[in-house]
Each structure stands twice: as structure tokens, then as C-alpha cells.
Structure 1
Amino acid sequence: MQEIIALLTRAGIPLPADLNWLAAIIGFSIVGVGMALGWVISRLAGRHLRGFWERVAGERAEGLADRMIRIIYHGSVSIVLAIAFFAMDWWTFTDLIIGAGWGLCAGYLVWHIVRATNFARWIALAAGVFTFAVILSNAVGGLERVSFVLDRIGVTVGDNRISLLTVLVIAITALALFAVVRIIRRIVSHSIQRSSGLDPAQKLLADKLALIAIVVAAFFIGIDILGIDLTALAFFSGALGLAVGFGMQKTFGNLIAGIILLMDRSIKPGDVIAVGESFGWVNKIGVRAVSIITRDGKEHLIPNENLMTEEVENWSYSSLEVRVHIEVGVSYNCDIRLAQEIMVEAALDCKRVLKSPKPNIWLTEFGDSSVNFDVLVWIKDPESGVGNVRSDILNRIWWKFKEHDIEIPFPQRDLHIRDWPDGKPKALGGDGVAKPEPAKTEKG
């Protein structure tokens, strides 16, 4: 700072008696220059980086893309102020002002990044305030003292000491790794979805395996950053094995079952399947369960293991074409041949019914009241429902039967009473019970 004072003196610039004012003016000037440079950089590079991120992450770009310009602005200002802070040994007031501006921008930067990765608002606020406090403490020379105090608050377990500083470092590392994992996963998932050489099941399998690989890599990176010796965890390996063997065996079983389902491609997203009482199309195959959406809009979550052990009807495993059965009965007195022609015509009038294979009519039985037929039609979009096709065809058959006077019979029963106990029927009351005959009276 003495060089700056000498330079200003030689330039003939009058200096105030209290140099604290000069230190404050220099600090605010540096912060202003940093904010101006950050504004220019965010306007020049913000839109380009946002477009690049949207191309890389695709539909998963939301959140981070919306905050891209503000992230670049606060990041640029933080970098400029950090460089200015360490470039020279400033006065205390200058360090305080630069550190406050730097900490504020860095806190906002952390806030936007944490919120963009879908963390809760309170987590983002805590991370931003903590970042501001750390940078400001470092600017005024109090970071070492704060670290010393935090390190003294703790407990000793065996040969290891767990302090408040250790907990904070672990929490910050975990938060940063979670944010990085989410960002990398968005990029990898979009790249997998854009691949033209993979079918939907292979894309989903690659996405799940990539997620596992990213999480495992992040775990070991975190262990290395924190300097944790893995041999110290050997004591807990037995307990962890028991927990996995007893408490989490279903979870791991469903995970392995889900991977197997994706590898053999027996069930894929978009397939129409029936499992027990659940019928619908597969929305997604998760780590624990398969999501099936029914035609009623209800979403059934079926554990992956059930799909491996139970009988599953996959209507679209090898082909999307599905045959629908529709039962129809006609009167014995009608023209059977004409009724069959009308049923075929009604089936072909339905838009979703395929012309090839063409509809077929089977005479199934001579029933008690009707001649029963089975109308067989083919569709290729079972995910759109089957009941609506059946309803459409039955409606068309009804009106066409009406036009041609073809009767659809219904069961009828005739009750014949041969005789009454007293030779004549008795009047019935409103409750269906025979009324007693009125008593006869003699006239006096």
C-alpha cells in the first residue's frame, strides 16, 4: 500500500488525513469494477453457455438453465474479487470491503447452484450464508480462530476425534458431491437418450448403470477428499453385511431384478402388461419397482421381484397386435348369416380395428335363450385401452341390429299356477301376503 500512496503523492492527488477513507474508497472501487466486469461477462457468455447447457442436458436442463446468467454473473464477480483480494496486501478496511463483496457474491453463487440442483430452499440458504461467513472471516483474518474454536468442540471416540469442524467439512463435501452428481447425471442421461443405437430398454439400463457408477465414483472421491482411511471402516463391515443380508435383502433383490429385466428386455417402458389384478402400460422401471399406469389413471407400483417370479402377460412383447374378444348373442328366430355379416361390418367400421388380419366371427354355442357368437378383432395400440374398442363395436352392432330387426334376446321365465289350495286365488295385500276373508255378520 505504501507504493500506492507514493504513486498518488507523485501524481499530485491530495490524500485525506484519515487514510481509512482512502482504504474504503479503494475497496468500493474494486468491488464496483468487479461487478461491472461480471455484468459484461454474463451478458457476453451467459446466453451462449445457457444454449450449450440446454443442448447438453436437453429436457433435464431446467433449473440450471434458468439461473445460468445469474450463476455466471456471481461467479465472475467472485473470481475478480478473489484475484484482487490476493493480489496485494491491502489496508484492513479495503480487505473488509472486498471480502464482504466477495463473500456476498460467492454466497449467491452457491445459493443458485444448490437451488438449480433441486435441493431444498433451507439447504441452499444455509450453504449461501456459510459461504459468506467463511469468506468474510478469512478477509478479516479470523478464519483460523473460528476453525480453532470449531475444532475444539467435539468428542473423542477411541483413537479418532469428531469435532464440529469435521462435521461441517463432511456436510459441505457431501453437498458439493451431491450437486456435482446431479449435474453430471443430467448430462449423461441426455446423452444416453439421444443415442440412436439403443432401444428404450437399453437406454434405461445404461442410465441406471451410469447412475450407479457416478455415485460410486463420487463416494470414493469424497473419501479421498476427507482423508478417511477405509481400513478404519473394517469394524463396521460385518454389521453392514448383516444389515444388507437381513434388512435390505428385498431392496437389493429388487435392484438386481430390475437390472435383469432391462438386460433381457422382457419388459420395457411402454409395454402393455397384466400382473395379477393390475393391467396397464409400463411408465418406468425404477430401482425398486415398476410403475404401471392403468386406463383409470391410477399408478400401480409393482416390486421388480414380483415380475421375476409371477406370471406376467406382456401384450406387446414381440408384437403390438392384440386380439380382442367380444361376445354377442342373437335370437333363434333371426337370420344367422345376416347377423354375422352385420357384426363383421360393425367391427370394420371401428377406426382402431385392423383390416388385416380381418375380423372373424365364431359361433360358440347354442344357449338357453340365444345363439352366442364371439367377435374377434385385432388392434395394434393396446396402450390406448381395450374396453373402449369393445364398447364402440357393441354400440355399432346394437344400432345395426335395430335397422335389420335382429333381436337380442334376454332370459325370460313364465310361471304357471295349476291350482290354488281353496280353488280360487286370494287377494294380496301391499306386502304380498294374502288378506283374510271378511267375517260374515247376520242381520237382526
Structure 2
Amino acid sequence: MNGIAGWLTARGLPVGDGAQLAEAGVALGFVLLSLALGWFVGRWAGPGLTGLWRERVGDHATGIVGRLCDILRHLVAVLALAVVGQVHYWGALADIVVGLALGAAVARLAVQLLRGVHLARWMAWTVGFILFVAALSGAIGGLEPITDTLDAIGFSIGRRRLSLLALVSTLLTAVVLYAVVRIVNKVVAHGVAQAKGLDPAQKLLAQKLASIAVVITAFFFGIDLLGIDLTTFAIFSGGLGLAVGFGLQKTVGNLIAGIILLMDRSIKPGDVIVVGDSFGWVNKIGVRAVSVITRDGKEHLIPNENLMTQEVENWSFSDRNVRVRIPVGVGYETDLRLAQKLMLQAATESPRVLRSPKPNVWLISYGDYAVEHEILAWISDPEQGVGNVRSDVLNRLWDLFKENGIEIPVPRRELLFRDGLKVTKA
């Protein structure tokens, strides 16, 4: 025992006698028990907590789901080690043992949480190291020596002190609030998505408003934690107002337009719309633009403001049924009743054409070389495309016309030669 004490004393550790080593051994035992408790709780309650998370929050935050067992294990270890450090007045060597274990547990917990919200690995480990040093310092003698040293490294600008301590505090606050905002947003988004009394547009609006509220709350909470006087932002807010009035006018306009679109429910995710040359179904309504996916798989990002100021065709605003017009021409020598019956049959047999409202056939004009008809067919899934329905009906009609001897007319011209009064048809 004396040999160990001499070795520690030679390296600057405050070891007085064997009693401190015995106390350190007891503290080490409590540390091992705390770590074992964390491991046991993580193994026992972790799977149940993971299942509850999937039920309440879903798989939106897959990083958190995969780390819940480790997060619970480190959290229980941190709580147990904190209790161990406070229930007894330990000696210096025992404080070092408990402080090292507590700092490591806090650092591991922070890394797991921050990686779970997809923070960069280097940032997560940087925060973990800072928390490790803070926890160790707090256990062996308080944070005052470290905070005083960090605060001494800096300079003053007016009445504001800019120091390394302020930088570290700002970094920790920003990272913690970022993680909290991400988790709260995921929980709120899942809760709103499960609400049965809201349609998709109302759900999206509620999610966006809740997200804005969470970010604003986190901002003011962070300001309060850092002790920043809001009156110092008076000049900044004036500059921001000018920036909004000039440079950010379009951005703010698109943001407000997006909220209005969601509030009046004129355009919802899943709607089939036509804006200018863009035709497709609405994938999502973002803060700046609406994502419209065409039948070619192209994704058009249309600014929200354009949808407020331009004419928009919404094929599924109040009713998802859309009528498709299919022009067909037959020769003048054709049995029109039979041809119309075959047109109606081709439309009825097409799988995407609705039975109610039933398809119809109209004779619309006597053309130059054909009797013009129009097949009117209704579909309820315009997001699947319109051209493919038209193609399917025309293919079926081609086969029916072939089977019944009905020809598709082609343009004909008659040329009259005056000499010899000879008439030639071409």
C-alpha cells in the first residue's frame, strides 16, 4: 500500500496515507456498481423504451432509435455516479476516481445523443470532451479555476466581455438547444401526423407552425441562458428589417405565401396541379417552394409566391375525378352507331376508367374527311397520368375497329383537270 501511495505522491496526487487508498477503493467499488446498474437497466428497459419510441415518435429519428439502449445505460450511470459523489464527503483520491467515471459517462451520453440527432462526429466528440473536463473539475474541486482561466483569455468590447469562456458557453448552449429542437420537432411531427381530425394540409401547417414556435422558444431560452441583454439587438433588428424590406423580400413573401396556401387548403400534398408548363402532383409544400413531381420523374420547385399570383389548375381541389377527352374520327361510310358502340366499349374496358360517372361518346363535328367524335372518360387517379389512359383506350379501340371492319380515315384530296374534263382522285 505504501508503495502505491509513494508512486501517486511522486506524481503530484494528494495521497496522505493508506486510508485514502482504501477510501478510493470503496469509491471504485461504487463506481463499478453504478456502471453495472446502467448496463443492467439498458439491457432490461432499453428494448421496451425503443418500442415505445417507435410507437410514439416513429422511425423519423432513426439515429435516436438505434442508440436508445446506450443512451439509457449512460444516463442511469450518470445519475448513479452523481448520487455516489454527493452522498459522502470523499477524499481527494476518491473524488478523482468518481470524477473520472462521471466525466466519462457524461461524455459518452452527450456523444450518443448528439450523434443520434445526426450532429457531425467531430462536433459531438468536442462537446463530449468539454463536458468530461467540466464533470471531472466539478468533482475534484469545482469549476472556478477553469472558468476563471477561460474568462481571462479574451478581451472587452465596450461593456461586453468576449472570452474563451463565453465562446465555450455559447457552443454548448447552441449544440444542446439544437439537439433538443430536433428531438422535439420529431415528436411533435409524429404526434400531428397521427391526429385523425386533420387533413394532410392542416397537418403540414400544424407541423410548420409548431416547428417555428419550438425554434423561437429555443432561441429566447438560449438568450436567457447566455445572459444576453435583448436591448443590444435593437440596432441589429433595425438592420434586419431593412434587409427584409430589400434583399429578403422574396424569401419572406414565399414563406408567408406557403403558410397561406396551407391555411386556405387550396393546394395540398397529393393534389394534381398545372402551373404554366408544369404538370404533376404536389409532393410537399416547403418554406420556400412547392415540390411538383411530373410523370417524367422530374421534380419542379415552384416558388410559393407564384402559386398565389398565377393561375393554377388544381385537378383535385374539391373532387379527384377528372374527365379525359379522347378524340376519334371515323369515315363517312362507317356505321356510326356501331362505331360509337365500340368506342364506348373500349372506354368501359379500360381498367382506370370509372364506371360511375360512366364514359360517354359525343359526335362533335363533320370534318373534312372524317366524322369527329370525342370519348369522355372519368378517372379518379390523375396523379398516375392522363396520357396512358388515352393510349390504353385508343389501343383497345384499334383492335375493335379491326375486328369489325371499321377503317380509320386518312386525308384525301380531289384534283380536277380541266383538259378533257378528266377527274383524278388522290
Matched, 1:52 2:19: no
Aligned to 2:393: 393
CA deviation after TM superposition for structure 1 residue 367, in Å: 3.1
SS at match of 1:222: helix
| Distance in 1 (alpha carbons) for counterparts of 2:102 and 2:202 | 47
| Distance in 1 (alpha carbons) for counterparts of 2:307 and 2:144 | 58
| Distance in 1 (alpha carbons) for counterparts of 2:192 and 2:179 | 20
Aligned to 1:340: 340
| Distance in 2 (alpha carbons) for counterparts of 1:417 and 1:166 | 100
CA deviation after TM superposition for structure 1 residue 168, in Å: 1.2
Provide the aligned C-alpha RMSD in A: 2.3
* Residue range with higher mean Cα deviation, 191-200 or 138-147: 138-147
CA deviation after TM superposition for structure 1 residue 90, in Å: 2.5
Matched, 1:226 2:223: no
Alpha-carbon deviations, 1:300-350, whole Å to 9, x = none? 111110100000000011101100011222233322221111111000001
Aligned to 2:291: 291
Alpha-carbon deviations, 1:131-168, whole Å to 9, x = none? 22222333444743332222122232222111111011
Alpha-carbon deviations, 1:162-181, whole Å to 9, x = none? 11110111111111111111
Q: Tell me if structure 2 keeps the 8 A contact 1:292–1:299.
A: yes
Q: Tell me if structure 2 keeps the 8 A contact 1:322–1:378.
A: yes
Aligned to 2:67: 67
Aligned to 2:12: none
Q: Tell me if structure 2 keeps the 8 A contact 1:41–1:73.
A: yes
Q: Tell me if structure 1 keeps the 8 A contact 2:272–2:279.
A: yes
TM-score, with normalisation over the residues of structure 1?
A: 0.85
CA deviation after TM superposition for structure 1 residue 376, in Å: 0.9
Aligned to 2:300: 300
* Residue range with higher mean Cα deviation, 53-62 or 203-212: 53-62
SS at match of 2:274: strand
CA deviation after TM superposition for structure 1 residue 248, in Å: 1.3
Alpha-carbon deviations, 1:243-274, whole Å to 9, x = none? 12112111111111111111111111111111
Matched, 1:163 2:172: no
CA deviation after TM superposition for structure 1 residue 24, in Å: 4.7
Q: Tell me if structure 2 keeps the 8 A contact 1:205–1:262.
A: yes
Matched, 1:90 2:87: no
Aligned to 1:183: 183
Q: Tell me if structure 1 keeps the 8 A contact 2:170–2:226.
A: yes
> Map of 1:14-413 to 2, 5 A cutoff?
18=18, 21-141=21-141, 143-411=143-411
SS at match of 2:161: strand
* Residue range with higher mean Cα deviation, 345-354 or 123-132: 123-132
CA deviation after TM superposition for structure 1 residue 56, in Å: 2.1
Aligned to 1:8: none
CA deviation after TM superposition for structure 1 residue 217, in Å: 1.2
Q: Tell me if structure 1 keeps the 8 A contact 2:61–2:117.
A: no
| Distance in 2 (alpha carbons) for counterparts of 1:357 and 1:397 | 20
| Distance in 2 (alpha carbons) for counterparts of 1:315 and 1:59 | 33
Gaps (5+ residues) in structure 1?
1-15, 420-444
* Residue range with higher mean Cα deviation, 270-279 or 406-415: 406-415
| Distance in 2 (alpha carbons) for counterparts of 1:357 and 1:235 | 64
Gaps (5+ residues) in structure 2?
1-15, 420-426
Count how many residue pairs are aligned between Structure 1 and Structure 2: 404
CA deviation after TM superposition for structure 1 residue 47, in Å: 2.8
CA deviation after TM superposition for structure 1 residue 18, in Å: 4.8
**Which of structures 1 and 2 has the bigger CA Rg?**
1
| Distance in 2 (alpha carbons) for counterparts of 1:142 and 1:418 | 117
Change (3 A) 1:415 1:165: farther
| Distance in 1 (alpha carbons) for counterparts of 2:154 and 2:390 | 71
| Distance in 1 (alpha carbons) for counterparts of 2:362 and 2:52 | 61
CA deviation after TM superposition for structure 1 residue 44, in Å: 3.3
Q: Tell me if structure 2 keeps the 8 A contact 1:27–1:93.
A: no
TM-score, with normalisation over the residues of structure 2?
A: 0.89
SS at match of 2:269: coil
Amino acid aligned to 2:278: S
| Distance in 1 (alpha carbons) for counterparts of 2:21 and 2:86 | 21
Q: Tell me if structure 2 keeps the 8 A contact 1:53–1:61.
A: no
Q: Percent identity?
A: 55
Q: Tell me if structure 2 keeps the 8 A contact 1:54–1:61.
A: no
